[in-house]
Amino acid sequence: MKMRSKMKIDHILFALALTPCIALPAGAGEQQVQSGGEMVVTASRMEQQSIDVPITTQVITRDQIEMSGARDVGDLIGKYITGHFHKFNGLLSPVGLRGFRSDSHGSDLNGYVLILIDGHRTGTGNAAKINLDRIERVEVVKGPSSALYGSAAMGGVINLITKTGDGPLGGSITGEYGSFDYYKGQVSTGGEVSDTFRFFITASIDEIGDYSDPTFGTVYNSGIERKEIGGNVVYTFSDRHEVRLGGNYSDLYSESPSWRNWITYSAHDPNARQNSDKSIGYADLEYNGEFLDGKLHWKALAYYLYDKNHWFWGFPDPDSSQTKYIDKTIGTDHQFTWRMTSWNTLLVGFTIESLEKESSGTENFQPSTPLTPGLDYDNQALFIQDSMDLFDNRVNLIAAARYDRFDVTTKRAKTGTYADFNERSETYDRISPKFGIGVKFLDEMLRVRANIGDGFKSPTADQLSADYVDVRSGVRFLGNPDLDPETSRTFDIGFDVYHSDLSLTVSYFHTDWKDKIVRESLVNNGQGITTYTNHGDATIAGFEIGAEWILGQTFNLPFDASLWSNMAFNTEKEDEQTGEDLLYISDYEVKSGLNLGYAGVRAQLSHVLVGSQMITNFDTFMNEEKGTFSFWDLTVRYRFAGSWEINGSILNLFDQEVEWARGYIMPERNYRIGLTWNF
């Protein structure tokens, strides 16, 4: 106990020591952040300078992505953004913002944080499925964003903005090799073919075998294979009209390790064979046009999303028992931006989406009933936003609201036997407002801001309308048509300081979470019934602090150097009905680092510290505290001979035990090295 306490004290002292050099999560080492002039689009659905958007917006740039050592979006968020990222084996990584997370199994509509790609849903809440090769930057909006993006945006929105081939025509070929038989091959090409046509296309394949953790050795059956291809083609008709056609497909295979005799922390089972076949894909068509001498802008999106999760969990033969879910979504999103005056811009738009979930199962090589039946979602939404820049752009106001209507249906699964299955439908609607204000002082060196807004999460179709009996268990699953959506109201206040070599941001947020939906088990006339109910309220509150110190400018160094860090302290996280801490919200997080650059060399030393949290121990089904953990990573990149670049990473530099989720210990210290030829 004394050793654990000392370790916690050391961690906190380290965090406090870095407080003067805490970076905006938007920058994490990028010197452009300190000016406050970075262009962002997600928070207001319009391209604006970040200092003119009073909503907390953070950006991960392409340079940060390259220096992160991350292989997917989940790892990237876990390194730079506070909010408690979760990571399991088998390509499963829900991401968190302000105490809310995306769905653990990947359903984007069943989560509390929404992941977008180029402004529309990705079709998944599992960030491990999304590779980084096509991502130009990541914009993160913390706080409820349902006023513009609808359901599942209670904690915020993560928007992945893809490469479109800006710049000269060229390409690259990359090969990487590393620990645990890791390898990756990638080919990319793109650029501006003419004044009217540009493109970017990339394809890659990578694989890694069973890894080892620092405590128990080889984690058997933990390998991963990824095959991915995607890109964008952009055609510019004129300086006022442009069309983009984009898409991506990822074929993902992952294995699932287990503990010997299913006893956590016993030893990894060398006979484990369970695995999963996951794939995700999308295609989208985007039009941007300007009318009325540029005063009116029309952005139109049409998209198709595909998300498959296929688990093979039989024992001893994994093929003997399977569960498969396939989500298909068709949607369109349109927004019209009218610059009414030099200081007032009105945005109106609508979204129409239709999602169909197909479910099937196999048990002992026979068709069986999956855990979730088939589902249909139809969503229609209208949104409006007024943005005002007053007093010579010293005061920025944003007011927004969105109306959502849902039609949800529970459908019979493609396999299995049900008794008394009724395909029921339910309809409900929701209005979500938001308001923000920012005021600048001292020639934009200081900004004070405040926001208040509502978020909501739609009940799932089975929570609302299920009505069937599972013949295996005899349990009746009965939806509750009187369920209300889960809602939140958050206010946050804060200030930002922008100096020539130091930036600082401080925020306080307070969230009232209402009408949480929980599963409820009942017995009626001797029959077990599973249903759902709105179960009480909760409060989440805390501080977020960030800054970046450009050491090279302060001390007139002959090389680039910056210190950065992102901090979050959750001062309140209480279930008001039980009086206990909410689960899976850490007490604090600190994500920090040092960036260096000289000539063709760039280096980043980063540190992640995650505080203790309350979790459920699924061995005992009792709640307990999970302790603090931390790790260091080092990445170096060197460009030479004009067109060649070598990169190397040492991940988990000091060989620490890293466990984002209980029982899922991440790899020991491991290495990667790669070579890229740019042409």
Write the burial class of residue 215 (CB in 10 Å: 0-12 exposed, 13-18 middle, 19+ buried). Answer: exposed
Model confidence at 644, pLDDT cuts 50, 70, 90, reads: very high
**Res 461: pLDDT:** 82
CA dihedral 253, 356, 125, 667 (to 10 degrees): -20
Predicted TM-score (pTM) of the model is 0.92
- pLDDT category of residue 525 using cuts at 50, 70 and 90: confident
End-to-end Cα distance, the chain:
57
Strand duo 113-117 + 156-162: pairing? parallel
Query: Quick count: other Cβ atoms within 10 Å of Cβ 5?
Result: 9
Structure tokens at 592: 């920090």
Look at residue 297 and tell me whether its pLDDT is greater than 60.
yes
Q: What is the pLDDT of residues 30-53, one digit of tens each?
A: 333 334 567 788 899 999 988 999
Looking at the domain 2-678, which fold is it? Maltoporin; Chain A (2.40.170)
- The total number of residues shown for the chain amounts to 679
pLDDT category at 637 given cuts 50, 70, 90 is: very high
Separation CA 288–CA 297 (nearest Å): 7
| Burial letters 320-350, b for 16+ CB under 10 A, else e | ebbbbbbbebebebebebebeeebebbbebe
Residue 319 — φ and ψ, nearest 5°?
A: -70, -15
Higher pLDDT, 350 or 369: 350
- The answer to whether the CB of 21 falls within 8 A of the CB of 564 is yes
Whether residue 567 contacts residue 82, with contact meaning beta carbons closer than 8 Å, is answered with yes
Partners of 299 in the β-ladder: 288, 335
Mean pLDDT, to the nearest integer, of 170-193? Answer: 97
Domain boundaries, the chain: 2-678
Q: What's the pLDDT score for residue 289?
A: 97
- Residue 37 has a pLDDT of 63
Residue 422, token pair as written in the block: 């009724």
Q: What pLDDT shows up at residue 674?
A: 98
Q: What are phi and psi of 19, to 5 degrees?
A: -55, -40
Residue 227 has pLDDT above 90, yes or no: yes
| Mean pLDDT, range 381-408, rounded to an integer | 96
Q: 145 vs 140, 141, 550, CA distance in Å?
A: 11, 8, 32
**Does pLDDT of 496 surpass 90?**
yes
* pLDDT tens, position by position, 604-635: 999 999 999 999 999 998 999 999 999 999 99
Neighbours of 642 (CB within 10 A): 7
Return d(Cα 555, Cα 288) in angstroms, integer.
45
Q: What are 448-462's pLDDT values in tens digits?
A: 999 999 999 988 888
Tokens of 26: 């938007």
Cβ neighbourhood burial of 125 (10 Å; 0-12, 13-18, 19+): buried
For residue 316, whether the previous peptide bond is cis, meaning omega lies within 30 degrees of 0, is yes
Q: What is the pLDDT of residues 408-443, one digit of tens each?
A: 898 888 898 877 788 888 898 999 999 999 999 999
| CA 321 and chain centroid, separation | 30
Residue written as tokens 């992102």? 566
Q: Is the pLDDT of residue 7 over 60?
A: no
Q: What is the 3-state secondary structure (H, E, C) of 168-228?
A: CCEEEEEEEEECCCEEEEEEEEEEECCCCEEEEEEEEEEEECCCEECCCEECCCCCEEEEE
Question: What HEC string does 500-525 produce?
Answer: CCEEEEEEEEEEEEECCEEEEEEEEC
Range of lowest pLDDT (137-141, 547-551, 555-559, 574-578): 574-578
pLDDT of 118 over the 60 cut: yes
- Residue 249 tokens, joined: 């497909």
Q: How far is CA 481 from CA 258, 465, 476, 484, in A?
A: 39, 6, 16, 9
CA distance 497 to 525: 65
